[in-house]
Amino acid sequence: MFATIRSTIAFIAFSLATPVFADEAVLTITGLVASPVEGGAWVFDMDGLKALPAESFETETIWTDGPQRFEGVPLFALLEHVGADGGTIRAVALNDYAVSIPSTDAIEGGPIVAYARNGDAMSVRDKGPLWIVYPFDYNDTYKSEEYYSRSIWQLDRIEIVPEE
C-alpha cells in the first residue's frame, strides 16, 4: 500500500515539474474574436506563441524573490492577432481559477503572457507554463492589489466576453 502511495506521489510530483512540449496546446482563446482558419477556438502550442511578437522586462513580483526577467507575448499583440475587439478578458488557470481583466490593460508597455522566467520555460510547479505578468517596476499604478489579482499564473484559457 505504501509503495502505491509513494508511486502516486512521485507521479504527481513528476507531472507538476514536467515541461510543456512544443506541440502541446498551452493556450486556447475563445469568445469575441475573429474565427481562426480551422473554425472554433484559437489554439496555441508553445511554438505558436513564440512565433508572435515577443517582449521581455525585468521586474519584482510579490510572489518571487528579487528581480525576475520575464519573456512572452505582449497581451495587446496576442489579442490583436486573434482579432479581439473590446470586451473583458476572462483569464482562466489550469485549476479553473479565473480573473477578469479589462481590455484597456492590453496596451503597449502593459502585461505580457510570459512563457519564460530568467531565460527558462516555466513548469506548472513554477507558475507556468504561462503567466500574465505586469511590468510592476515600470508603472507604480501596477503596484496594487487590483493589478496583482490580474496577474494569473498557470494560464490555460482566455475568453473575450462582453464588457462587465
Q: Which pLDDT tens digit goes with each residue over 44-84?
A: 999 999 999 999 999 999 999 999 999 999 999 999 999 99
> Distance of CA 43 to CAs 20, 33, 110, 149, Å?
15, 12, 23, 25
Q: Is the pLDDT of residue 94 over 90?
A: yes
- Number of domain units in the chain: 1
Query: Smallest Cα–Cα separation from 53: which of 123, 113, 128?
Result: 113
Q: What does DSSP assign to residue 64?
A: S
- Identify the domain containing residue 118 by its residue range: 2-161
Dig out the grid coordinates for 4 from the structure.
502505491
Q: Is the pLDDT of residue 163 over 60?
A: yes
- 83: domain CATH number? 3.90.420.10
Which residues, in sequence order, are bridge partners of residue 59?
A: 68
Backbone angles phi, psi at 9, to 5 degrees: -65, -45
Global pTM value: 0.85
